[in-house]
Structure 1
Amino acid sequence: MGETTVKPGAGRWGPVARRPHDGSMRQRVARVAVAAVLLALVLLALPLAVVIRSAAFDDERGRLERDALAAAVRVGPEFSAGDPVELPAPPGGTQVGVYDAGLRLQAGAGPRTGDAATRRAASRAAVSEHTGGHIVVAVPVSSNEQVIGVVRAADDAGNVWSRVLAAWALLSGVSAFALAVAILVARRQARALSAPLENLASVCQDIADGDLTARAASSHIAEIDQVARTQNAMVAELARLLRHERHFTANASHQLRTPLAGLQLGLETALTTPDVDLRAAVEEALARSGHLHHTIDEVLRLAKAENDAGKGAGATRPAAVLLDRVETRWHGVFAQEQRRLAIRLVPGVEDLPLPDRAVGQVLDVLLDNARVHGSGRVDVTVREASGALAFDVADEGRMTFPPAGLFDRGATTGEGAGIGLSLARDLAEASGGRLSLASSSPTVFTLLLPCDG
Structure 2
Amino acid sequence: MRRRLIQSTLAVVLVVIAVFGVSLVLVESRTIEDSARESVRSEAVRLVSVVESRLVAGERVTEESLRTTVDDDRYVRIEVPGRPAITFGKRPGDGAIEVRQTGGHGETVTVRQSETAVRDEVGRTLLIILAVALLAIVAAAILAVRQAHRVAAPLTDLAETAERLGSGDPRPRHRRYGVPELDRVADVLDASAERIARILTAERRLAADASHQLRTPLTALSMRLEEIIATADTQDPEEQATVKEEATIALAQVERLTDVVQRLLTNSRDPRSGSAVAFDLDDVVKQQTEEWKPAYRGEGRAIVRSGKTGLRAVGTPGAVAQVLATLIENSLMHGGGTVAIRTRVTGNQAVVEVTDEGPGVDPQLGSRVFERTVSGRNSTGLGLAVARDLAEADGGRLELLQQYPPVFALFLSREAGDPGTAAGA
- Interval of TM-score (by shorter of Structure 1 and Structure 2): 0.3 to 0.5
Higher Rg of the two aligned structures: 1
- Structure with the largest fraction of helix: 2
Higher RCO (CA < 8 A, seq sep 6+): 1
Q: TM-score of the superposition, structure 2-length normalised?
A: 0.45
